[in-house]
Amino acid sequence: MAQKVIDVSAYQGRPDWGKVKASGVMGAILRIMDKNSIDSSFEYNYNECLSRGLVKGVYRYSYALSEAEAKREAGEVLQVLAGRKPELGVWLDLEYDKQRELGPAGVRRIAEVWMEVVRSGGQECNIYCSFDWYQNVCGGLPAKYWIARYPEPDTGEVDGRLRPDVGEAGWQYSSRVRVPGVAGYTDMSLWYEELYPVEEMAVYRYGGLDYAPVFDAAYYSDRYKDLRAAFGDNAAALFQHFIVFGMREGRQAIDTFDVRAYKARYADLRRAFGDDLPLYYQHYIRFGIAEKRNAVG
C-alpha cells in the first residue's frame, strides 16, 4: 500500500512535525544543503523526524557540471550527515537546466560519480528527477528513482493516470498540497517501497514505541465492522490503519484503553494536548501506565 511522504526545505520554515505525523504522513525527505551551505532548517527537521519516529531521507539539488564538482557536492553531503544514516537514504536531485545541456551521457556520468562517492561513504544513494528527465536524460542508471510528475494545472490531488509506473520507489504527484503543521504548500509523494518492516509492525512497534498497551488486532477487528470487512484478521494491515487513521479518529483498539475517557478524566493532558488524540495514546504508553492513570470509561 502506498504511503504519504513529503519533502521539505527551509522554504517551509520549521514544521510542527507532531501535526505532520498525526495527519497521516509516514515519512519525509529533507533538503540537506542548498547550493553552497547547509539548509537552515535541516538539523531541526532531522531531529524532529527522529524524535517523532518518522522515516527520513535527504536530498540535494545538484549544480555540478563536471566530475570534480559532483565529487565535491557528494562529499559535502557526507560531511553534514556525519555518520547519521537516514532510512530512505540520500537522493541526488537532477533538474538543473545547465546540466541538461551536457546531454544524457554527460549527466549520467555526473550522476554515477555523485552516487559512487555517497555510496562509498556507507549511505544509500539514488535519483530524484522529473518523468521527462527519466525518459530523456538519466533513466536506466543502476539506481532507484523517485519521480516527479504533476497534472496541469496542479490541483494538489492524485491523478492516478499520471503515475510514471516504471518501477519507481516513489511518485511525487503534486507540489501544492496542504499538510497540517506545514506553512504554505509542500510537495507530496506516494511511496511504494516498504517504509516500516513487516516484522516490526507484527509486534505493534512504530516510531520507537510499543503500541501493545493500546492496540490488539483481534479486538480492533471485532469492534469495527468496517475494518473487519476491509482487513479481516491481517494484523499488520489493522495496525497500519490504527497508526495512520485509527488514533486520529479516536478508535478504541483494546479493552484497557479508551482515549476519550483518558482525555476527559485528566485536565493536565487536555491542557497539554488539546484535541490531538494520538498524543494521548502515546502519553499513556510513555507515562500513563507507570503513573497508574485510569484509561477506561
- Find out whether 249 and 259 touch, Cβ atoms under 8 Å: no
Q: Which cell numbers hold the place of 82?
A: 556525519
Distance between CA atoms of residues 36 and 57, nearest Å: 20
Domains of the chain by residue range: 3-191, 199-288
How many CA atoms lie less than 13 Å away from 128 in the CB half-sphere? 26
Residues 193 and 169 sit within 8 Å (Cβ to Cβ):
yes
pLDDT, tens digit, 9 for 90 and up, residues 43-55: 999 999 988 888 9
The neighbour count for residue 52, using CB atoms within 10 Å, is 17
Distance CA 62, CA 272 (A): 42
Q: Which contiguous run of DSSP H or E holds residue 59?
A: strand 55-61
pTM of the model: 0.69
Least Cα distance to 176 among 158, 163, 164, 193 occurs for 158
- Nearest CA among 177, 193, 207 for reference residue 3: 193
At 200 the pLDDT is 45
pLDDT digits (tens, 9 = 90+) for 193-231: 877 654 444 467 887 788 989 998 889 999 999 998 988
CA-CA distances (angstroms) from residue 47 to 14, 44, 182, 197? 11, 5, 16, 21
pLDDT at residue number 154: 96
Distances (CA, A) of 12 to 16, 77, 148, 178, 278: 10, 21, 19, 11, 24
CATH T-level assignment (fold) for domain 3-191: TIM Barrel (3.20.20)
Strands 90-93 and 55-61: parallel
| Cα–Cα distance for residue pair 145/137, rounded to 1 Å | 13
Residues β-bridged to residue 8: 30
Spell out the per-residue pLDDT of the chain, length 297, in tens: 688 999 999 999 999 998 898 888 889 999 999 999 999 999 999 999 988 888 999 999 999 999 999 999 999 999 999 989 999 999 999 999 999 999 999 999 999 999 999 999 999 999 999 999 999 999 999 999 999 999 999 999 999 999 999 999 999 999 999 999 999 999 999 999 877 654 444 467 887 788 989 998 889 999 999 998 988 888 878 888 999 899 999 999 999 999 999 999 999 999 999 999 999 999 999 999 988 999 997
Q: Which of 209, 206, 208, 185 is nearest to 195 (CA)?
A: 206
